[in-house]
Structure formats: C-alpha cells, structure tokens
C-alpha cells in the first residue's frame, strides 16, 4: 500500500504549477493540483494575456491617424468598451478550458478549491485531506495597495479588466511595468490619463536611457506623467473621485488604479505552520532547485519573488519536475532573460543595464542609436526609437541589449538568444542586417558613446 495518496501535490494552477505538474506526470509521477479561482493563473486570467489584448486595442487610434499619411481617407470610427471586454472574456474562457484539458490529458487530477498545508505532507482541500510525498507551492502574487485615507475607492489591475465602462479620466499610481502599460492602454483608448509615481523616474531598475526615453515618449502621447508625486488621500464626491497629491493639488478622476507592486500569496496557505521559511517580504525562501527549508516542499513562480515573469515560472516548474522525477538535476539561469514592457512605445531588454554593467565589469563600451522609425516619415508623428548595446571591453561580449520602440519585444527576443550564446560585438558587426528594418540597427552601430563616469544603481 502506498504511503501517500500522491507523489506530488501542487497548490496553485498558474503557469508554474501547471508546467510542473504536467511534466511530473509525463515522467511517471502521480500528480494532483488545486486552484481556488480559475486554472491559468495571473498571466492567463488577469495578467499578461488580457493586458496584451488591451494593448492591441489601444494602438488602433494611432493606426487610424497614421493611415492618412499613406493615402487612406481620414476615419473616426467609434470604440465600444463592452465589446472589448466581452471578446476578452471569451478568449480567457477558451484558454481556461485549454489549461484544464492539458491537465486532464497529462493525467493530472484537478481540484478547483483552495489548498492549505496541514503538515509537510498533508493538504486540506475541498473539505478533505490529501497526502503527498512532495508538495509544490505555486500560489503566485497579488496586487499591493498601501493604506491611506480613501484607499477603498481605488482599483488594481484585477478590477481594471472588468470595468463596466471606459473611464473618461483615469489616475494610474505607480511607475513599474504594470502602471506604465495601463496608463498607455487607457490613454490609447481615449481616456485622459494622469500617472503618478513617487520616485524620480519610471521603470526603476531598467537602464536609465530607457527610463528617460519612455517618459519622454509617453508624454508626447498625452499622458500627464508626474514623478516624485504621491497620493495623500482620495475622497468621493458627486460621483467622482477627488485625488489630493503631495503639494496639495487635487485631481478629479473616474477611477484611480494602483499598480504599486505585488505581494507573494503566502497568507493562509499554512506555510509557517508546516515549517517553511519566508523572507522579509513574505516570499518563500528557496535554493537553486526551488527547495524550501522543508525537505519535501518546493516553490516556484511569483510566490518566491525571484524573477516574476511567466516564462520564468514555467521554466522553474519544468526544472523542478526534471530534477525530481527524471533524474536530470537542473536549475534556472536567470542571466540575460529577455523581458518586455508593453507600453506605447514598447520596451525590450536582455542582459544588464549600463549602471549594473559598470558595477560588474572593469570597463564597458556603450553603443546607442536614436532615430525616427521609417513608418513615421509619412505619418509625421514625432516618435523616436532607442537602441542600445552594452559591451564588456575585456571580452567584447555584448552584456546588455535595450530597445524602446515598436516591436521591441519581438526584436529583443532574438537578441536574448545571442546573449545566451555569449555573442561578441564583433559577431554582431559581422551579421548582415535586414533592410529596411529597425532591427538592423543592432548590427550596424559602430560609433561608441563617449565614456562617462560610472552611474550608481538606484
């Protein structure tokens, strides 16, 4: 008789949990997974997927304007927010069904209820207890809202996907990628947008040239970006919100959306009771193989607060399954992971910022190009693209690639492969570009930027 009901119990059916359970089942493990909301997690249900659909929608206003320069008659089509919401919901329903089918096809049992650890081998779920030799926690993260007068009048990205109508005036609080993306979405769809950020520049942790460039470009598009500014209180009056910011100014809005970070979902999961150690931010402490302080309990994805990206969670889940169930120990390499901000214009990054490169290497060379995209020679739009390469002088290796401009994510994905392979600047230079394209600029930059003193990492 088996000592446990299952070989593996996964708590949380988001990207990391689904990836791990499916792969473990393929390797022969008897696996079960539970999810209290909907299968698919943050990315599929209330994150990257619906947000990217909203981002596509927000670009059409500019596309209609730009078409005139190419001979199309001027058009002013109307926009219907409920149609976007309904179509988005239908797509999320479809993806939710696909994820459930993938689990079923892999032979993974699914319980759609909340799971709580009773001890290191026991989970209470759906009114019963289930035992497993190994537990994997993949509960993700949730939006954080600070406590201040009037916080009850605010929403987060979760609620933004289900608004009954498009706000005429939106205040977005935050300077990270979620805040920047939603400011661009509301702006593109026709809302008057004010973005507030308490820091000195948006996108903390990104390359300084990228931060400054994006701030400049979103300002051109009509977003009222105010840095070193934060909300003191919010009051509701006559059906609208009155937002008082530092300095005493009041801004009227229909919605106030907070995108000021996310906290790991570790509350009420029974982690501390089971002996699992958490860090000062409430994230689960893990080693390079995603093992916690309890020998048979592991954790992947945003709940560990390592690098909170969907493809990273998927890779962590796969590495976990390969290590435990395929006798192929593997850890995730977090260097050079490409990532993007789907702002308008978009941002793509792989590797180190200039500031971090100057800390890590004795000397670096910088190559930068800023230009007007070919498309806008006919549209007349005042939009610029930025491309930047950072090179370790000692080895000639390219250690950082940065882009602000259309299709940045699509272009930088390929650059990420080059950095993973250890490509040198000489190899970039030897590569023939695709002409005419923006991407060719990455292989035609020859003039180094004059060296400057190292800049401190914020």
Catalytic site positions: 435
Name which of 31, 26, 85 is nearest 53 in CA terms: 85
In whole angstroms, give the CA distance from residue 19 to residue 38: 15
Say whether 354 sits in a helix, a strand or coil: helix
**C-beta of residue 286 within 8 angstroms of C-beta of residue 298:** yes
To 5 degrees, how large is the angle CA 367–CA 369–CA 372?
175
Say whether 45 sits in a helix, a strand or coil: helix
Annotate 148-217 with DSSP letters as a single string. -TTGGG-B-HHHHTT-SS--SEEEEE--SHHHHHHHHHHHHHT-EEEEEESSSSSSTTS-HHHHHHHHHH
Question: Could you tell me if residue 184 is left (phi over 0), alpha (psi between -120 and 50 degrees) or otherwise beta?
Answer: alpha
In whole angstroms, give the CA distance from residue 179 to residue 341: 10
**C-beta of residue 193 within 8 angstroms of C-beta of residue 219:** no
Say whether 356 sits in a helix, a strand or coil: helix
Contacts of 405 (CB under 8 A, 6+ apart): 345, 346, 373, 384, 385, 386, 387, 438
Contacts of 75 (CB under 8 A, 6+ apart): 64, 67
């Amino acid at each position: 008789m088996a000592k446990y009901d299952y070989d593996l119990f996964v708590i949380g059916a988001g990207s990391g949990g689904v990836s791990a359970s499916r792969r473990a089942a393929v390797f022969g493990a008897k696996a079960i997974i539970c999810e209290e909301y909907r299968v698919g997690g943050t990315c599929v249900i209330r994150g990257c997927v619906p947000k990217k659909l909203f981002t596509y929608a927000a670009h059409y206003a500019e596309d209609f304007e730009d078409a005139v320069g190419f001979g199309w008659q001027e058009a002013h089509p109307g926009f219907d927010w409920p149609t976007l919401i309904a179509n988005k919901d239908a797509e999320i329903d479809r993806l939710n069904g696909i994820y459930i089918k993938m689990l079923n096809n892999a032979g993974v049992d699914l319980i759609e209820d909340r799971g709580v650890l009773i001890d290191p081998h026991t989970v209470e779920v759906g009114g019963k207890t289930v035992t497993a030799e190994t537990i994997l926690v993949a509960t993700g993260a949730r939006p954080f809202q600070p406590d201040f007068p009037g916080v009850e009048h605010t929403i987060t990205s979760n609620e933004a996907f289900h608004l009954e109508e498009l706000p005429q005036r939106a205040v977005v609080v935050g300077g990270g990628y979620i805040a920047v993306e939603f400011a661009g979405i509301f702006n593109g769809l026709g809302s008057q947008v004010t973005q507030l950020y308490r820091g000195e520049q948006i996108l903390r942790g990104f390359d300084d040239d990228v931060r400054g460039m994006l701030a400049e470009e979103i300002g051109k598009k009509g977003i009222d970006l105010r840095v070193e500014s934060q909300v003191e209180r919010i009051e509701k009056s006559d059906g609208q919100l009155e937002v008082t910011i530092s300095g005493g100014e009041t801004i009227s809005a229909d919605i106030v959306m907070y995108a000021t970070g996310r906290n790991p979902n570790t509350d009420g999961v029974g982690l501390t009771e089971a002996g699992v150690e958490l860090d000062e931010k409430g994230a689960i402490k893990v080693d390079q193989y995603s093992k916690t302080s309890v020998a048979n309990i592991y954790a992947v994805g945003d709940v560990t607060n390592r690098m909170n990206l969907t493809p990273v969670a998927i890779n962590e889940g796969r590495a976990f399954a390969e290590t435990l169930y395929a006798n192929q120990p593997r850890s995730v390499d977090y260097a050079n992971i490409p990532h993007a901000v789907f702002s308008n214009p978009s941002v793509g990054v792989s590797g180190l910022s200039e500031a971090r490169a100057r800390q890590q290497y004795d000397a670096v060379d910088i190559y930068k190009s800023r230009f007007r995209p070919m498309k806008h020679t006919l549209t007349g739009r005042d939009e610029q693209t930025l491309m930047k390469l950072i090179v370790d002088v000692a080895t000639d290796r390219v250690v950082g690639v940065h882009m602000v401009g259309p299709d940045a994510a699509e272009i930088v994905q390929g650059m990420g492969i080059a950095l993973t392979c250890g490509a040198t600047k000489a190899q970039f230079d030897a590569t023939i570009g695709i002409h005419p394209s923006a991407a060719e600029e990455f292989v035609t930059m020859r003039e180094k930027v004059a060296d400057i003193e190292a800049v401190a990492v914020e």
